[in-house]
Structure 1
């Protein structure tokens, strides 16, 4: 057992996060999951939500990352998250996220008016992603 996790968040656009951590919290399809060094190896699907990463360099230093779903793989204290998109708290363009939220809310209203189930689902996912980015930006 080591005293740190190596944490990487990878998207099709490259590595978005790469540090050592003492603790990581993530929301999986089965619920909230906390990971400490020495955790059993696991592969789980993630929800659209935030990652909370407590860094080893300072116990009060927490990094927040907005992740739009993906897969979390932990093997021998190396935690890799593969996601379609991810943004660190400091990199989120809040005004862009707010515009995305407004677009998604409007799309959801329109889709519900015409009872288009597929469009309702797409709009709900877009809204969830925008709200996740906004929430992470506020940490």
Structure 2
């Protein structure tokens, strides 16, 4: 039976946020939400502003990242999330981000960043 895991790297210009084995990811791209399992066909997609990436690790644990733009690269053996900016959902103050959503102009950078952070927290709640 084929291995059902793949190597996942989540990186931004200033750090490597995650490196490990995963069984499934969900990523919001500019053409819609994608779910990817091991052995997926090669793919390059643009990550949506205000989006998130949710990871199911090989251990079964789930984590998510707020992601502001960038790219998702899928090869036969690995997936790399090359984010313009990214943050672990566990590090986000969701109440503060919801307040920003209420006060920021829809579509502004502040709004999109807050939306991304709220979505990431909700993805693993």
| 1:11 lines up with 2:12 in the alignment | yes
TM-score, length-scaled by structure 1: 0.75
- 2:67 is matched with 67
Matches within 5 A, 1:1-139: 1-48=2-49, 49-58=51-60, 61-94=61-94, 97-98=97-98, 100-101=100-101, 105=104, 108=105, 123=108, 125-138=109-122, 139=125
Unpaired runs of at least 5, structure 2: none
Give the conservation status (yes or no) of the 8 Å contact 1:71–1:83: yes
What secondary structure, in the 3-state scheme, does the structure 1 residue paired with 2:68 have? strand
How far apart, CA to CA, are the structure 1 residues paired with 2:113 and 2:21?
26
Please report how far the alpha carbon of residue 70 of structure 1 lies from its aligned counterpart in structure 2 after TM superposition. 0.9
Please report how far the alpha carbon of residue 2 of structure 1 lies from its aligned counterpart in structure 2 after TM superposition. 3.0
Deviations 1:20-65 (A, max 9, x none): 111111111111111110100111111131211111112xx21111
Give the conservation status (yes or no) of the 8 Å contact 1:66–1:133: yes
What secondary structure, in the 3-state scheme, does the structure 1 residue paired with 2:81 have? strand
Deviations 1:76-101 (A, max 9, x none): 22100111111111122446535644
**Which of these two proteins has the greater Rg computed from alpha carbons?**
1
Instruction: Between the two structures, name the one with larger relative contact order (CA 8 Å, sep ≥ 6).
Output: 2
- 1:114 is matched with none
- Alignment coverage as a number of residue pairs: 121
Alignment RMSD (CA, Å): 2.0
User: 1 or 2, which has the higher helix percentage?
Assistant: 1
Please report how far the alpha carbon of residue 18 of structure 1 lies from its aligned counterpart in structure 2 after TM superposition. 1.4
Give the conservation status (yes or no) of the 8 Å contact 2:54–2:120: no
